[in-house]
Amino acid sequence: MAQQSSDITKGVVITGVGIVSPLGIGRSDFSENLAAGRSGIRRSQLQSFTGVPGHVGGEISEFDEKSAKKQWLKSERKWVKVMCREIQLGVASALQAVEDAQVSTDTIPADRLGVEFGANLMLTPPDQLIDPVKKSAEEEPSPHFIYEKWGQDGENAGQPSGMGAMEPLWLLKYLPNMPACHISISVGARGPSNSITMDEASGNSVLGEAVRIISRGDADVMISGTCGARFNPMQSLHAALWDELAHEDGPPETWCRPFDKNSTGQVIGEGAATLILETAEHAANRGATVFGEILGFGSSCVVERDGSPQPRRALANAMRAALRDAGVEPNQIGHVNAHGLGSKAVDRDEALAIHDVFGADGGKIPVTAMKSRLGNAGPGCGTMELVASLVSLGSGVIPVTLNYRASDPECPLNVVHGEPLPTDNRLFLKTNVTRVGQATAVVVRAAGA
């Protein structure tokens, strides 16, 4: 990874990277596996049940309950019991980033160190709900749930209600603001703290918010990241009900095919990534390594009167806003790190949005899609995907999209496939969009070799 680049001398820069992904834990392992063309998509090794075809997804099999306590969250092991998997992944990535950037309240005032983190609603596993639900159910005349018994003792005086049978700290394990809370407590950050729940669009949004906090002088350093774990029993069932999921006969690593003519849907996943942000001047004063710079951010949500989302318009709006904010023209961008879901309709809308923004160059600009290697981790996907471009450009290449075999006439894009694409253009545009029409984009410049 590159040291500080001489042309990154102003603005808000990236000085630390932490990542817990299906493609590796830690910047070094992630970079190595990315460069080697590997995939993190596999059949589940940790879950006894998932709701997705073939139990296939982007799973972090080396991050289990035992290793979380003894290795990845060793300093926080007494708190692991009140962290669900999403929170564990997010905190682990943040602690990595803090260490990577050598950030500490020993040298940075606690009230000048903030946290901006993205997560979604987190769902309780079935095994933790079985007994409480039983206490609120009746078997006759047929098994059914009695809502009135959930919060009351009913006729069984002295017996716990359904809610009373829940573990005492249950709620703290599943709130989307808890990653930011745990991170703040762990590192002693007492500056601005905020949590964003915008599903896949969260990653770019937390960066945009963190940059603005620093730019207006409310913090010197921001810990900014996202986490998501869709590859578990409850989240995977939701995916099976709501999403177009890939269904293939071949090896799991070939299932996710963004922008490919033969794509059959998305593959779900899990993961987290965190970036440390500060001004270039602040980074230089403390001798920090700079990995890149956040130049611009844009966001848009477009929905018709009947509630139907319009991803194409939302993505185009967000990209244009990010370019405007960065003071960059489309022809200056070296590549687009796309949302690249693997879903026919969403991929088509994104491809058309890229053409809307880049015009005649829409079919020429290199496009890469990291969900082909990571799956869709919901809120966690955007930051992990951004890191992929950041570390790859540090080595002078654009990361390759896996499983792109046949070009789709409905997605006329220059998809980077086969081999990483050498480049000396370190500007890239990162896009993400949600199923309800929320889109975000950031313009990033990676530090040179």
pLDDT tens-place string over residues 211-265: 999 999 999 999 999 999 998 889 999 999 999 999 999 999 999 999 999 999 9
User: How many Cβ atoms are within 10 Å of 64's Cβ, its own excluded?
Assistant: 13
pLDDT attached to residue 314: 98
Mean pLDDT lowest among 135-144, 296-305, 325-334: 135-144
Q: Contact at 8 Å (CB) between 442 and 335? A: no
pLDDT tens, 374-389?
999 999 999 999 999 9
pLDDT tens, 135-182?
888 888 888 888 888 886 545 555 667 888 888 888 899 999 999 999
Mean pLDDT lowest among 150-154, 182-186, 208-212, 397-401: 150-154
* Spatial separation of the C-alpha atoms in residues 229 and 58, rounded to whole Å: 9
Q: Is the pLDDT of residue 204 over 80?
A: yes
Mean of pLDDT over the chain: 93
- Identify the band that residue 125 occupies on the pLDDT scale cut at 50, 70 and 90: confident
pLDDT attached to residue 2: 43
Q: Contact at 8 Å (CB) between 226 and 380? A: yes
* Spatial separation of the C-alpha atoms in residues 410 and 347, rounded to whole Å: 9
User: How many Cβ atoms are within 10 Å of 154's Cβ, its own excluded?
Assistant: 14
195, two tokens: 């949590």
Q: Which amino acid is at 231?
A: F
pLDDT tens, 11-63?
899 999 999 999 999 999 999 999 999 999 999 999 888 999 999 999 999 99
Nearest to 340 by CA among 254, 268, 266, 408: 266
* Spatial separation of the C-alpha atoms in residues 162 and 146, rounded to whole Å: 10
pLDDT attached to residue 439: 98
428, two tokens: 């890239």
Residue ranges of the domains in the chain?
Answer: 12-123+174-446, 126-171
User: Averaged over 103-131, what is the pLDDT?
Assistant: 93
Task: Please provide the CATH number assigned to the domain covering 12-123+174-446.
Answer: 3.40.47.10
DSSP 8-state symbol, 61: T
Please state, in angstroms and as integers, the Cα–Cα distance from residue 55 to each residue in 30, 52, 243, 377, following that order.
Answer: 23, 5, 15, 15
* Spatial separation of the C-alpha atoms in residues 114 and 222, rounded to whole Å: 5
Query: CA quadruple 402, 407, 413, 418: dihedral positive or negative?
Result: positive
pLDDT attached to residue 9: 45
Instruction: Specify the residue for token string 């095994």.
Output: 127
pLDDT attached to residue 48: 84
